[in-house]
Amino acid sequence: MTHRLATAFALFLGTSLALAQQPPALAASAPAVKTRVFEQVALRPLREAPASVVARNEARLAAEVPGRVLRWTADTGAGVRRGALLVELDATDHRLARDRARAAVQSSQARLTLAQQQLKRARELVDQGFFSREALNARETDVQLAQSELAAQRAQLATAEHALAKTRINAPFDASVKERLAQTGEFVAAGTPLYVLTQTDAAEVSAQIALADVAGVRASGQVEFVASDRTVPLKLLRVSATVSAPARTVEVRLAPQQPVIVGSAGQLRWSGHRPHLPASLLVQRAGRLGVFVVESGKARFVPLPQAQEGRAAAAELAPNALVVVGGHAALQDGQAVTLSR
């Protein structure tokens, strides 16, 4: 009996020594993870800001000369084309002034012609010795005076014709009539408003965006105006150099690439220029949110300082970095991994 116990103890001791000499087994093999290249998994989230369509010009057309309103042609809400007649004033007095100025020009022209003929005759008489040099100088002065008078009368005629043309008020651009103030039969003085026009052929989209978003709008290859069920592509025109307080926003103006209605309200939408990673890839390690990438067969934790739970986070990684997209929940920084297909 004692011999059997000794033999059993010897076998147990030998087995234990043999096991102790074997290399320790790994607690677990390197976990398999799925990866994708950063530039393939990165998102560029859409950004939005309230926007509205504004007219390039809104003009208050006023009478430039006094007169009585004979007729108006477009009422409130009507569309007008550039150059279209809007208001016609009584031009009787201005037409008479034009005719008087024209007659004065003709009279001055006749006096100049006579003075030139007299000067020519005086020069002939001087050559013959029948006319004094002083008398010749007087004839030359008469011609100069007649020329000056004719120039002044021509200027008066141009002024009268210009005033006559101002009795017809035309649209300066394609527009919609926002307000009609002209009344038939009313006498208006110079400066009296007659129409308010809103330009329709050069609309712009205006939006107030955060100062930090300016670079994103400039860099974005897709900026749109979204209103109701319609999306209109935009082209950036200019960014205001003034920051409004206290919101700390700046105004941007953009040109719609399709016709839009002035006064429409909607959203300015653009894709951000900074790449983001989906919230599903974020994990928390040591109290920080970040993602895992694979480098040299090992998982490396990359913290993302601006990351928030449940939201895509901005990430600055190399375009060809291998981002872990599967099997990252239990990974630890520096842990060996294998790539699954």
β-pair type (223-227, 230-239): antiparallel
DSSP conformation class of 17: H
d(CA 222, CA 272): 9
pLDDT tens-digit readout, 53-79: 999 999 999 999 999 999 999 999 999
96, HSE (Cβ side, Cα atoms, 13 Å): 3
Scan for tokens 């040109």, then name that residue: 255
Q: Residue 65 has what DSSP assignment?
A: S
- Element (DSSP H or E) covering residue 87: strand 85-89
Q: What is the pLDDT of residue 211?
A: 87
Tokens coding 299: 């998982």
CA distance 58 to 55: 7
What domains does the chain contain, in order, with CATH numbers?
Answer: 32-44+276-339 (2.40.420.20), 47-55+201-271 (2.40.30.170), 58-90+167-199 (2.40.50.100), 92-165 (1.10.287)
pLDDT at res. 309: 86
Which residues are paired to 270 by β-bridges? 47, 223
Q: What is d(CA 261, CA 205) in angstroms, rounded to the nearest whole number?
A: 10
Segments in the chain below pLDDT 70: 1-29, 341
| ∠ CA 25-31-35, rounded to 5° | 160
User: What's residue 17's pLDDT?
Assistant: 40
DSSP bridge partners of 207: 51, 252
Q: Report the DSSP beta bridge partners of residue 210.
A: 249
Non-local (6+) Cβ contacts of 319 within 8 A are 37, 38, 39
Tokens encoding 60: 């208050």
Q: What pTM was estimated for this model as a whole?
A: 0.62
For residue 341, the model assigns a pLDDT of 64
CB 48 within 8 A of CB 217: no
* Cβ(94)–Cβ(67) below 8 Å: yes
Pick the closest to residue 197 from 315, 97, 58, 309 (CA basis): 58
DSSP helix/strand/coil, 24: coil
Is residue 326 within 8 A of residue 33, CB to CB? The reply is yes
Instruction: Say what the pLDDT of residue 6 is.
Output: 46
Q: Which residues pair with 236 in a beta bridge?
A: 254
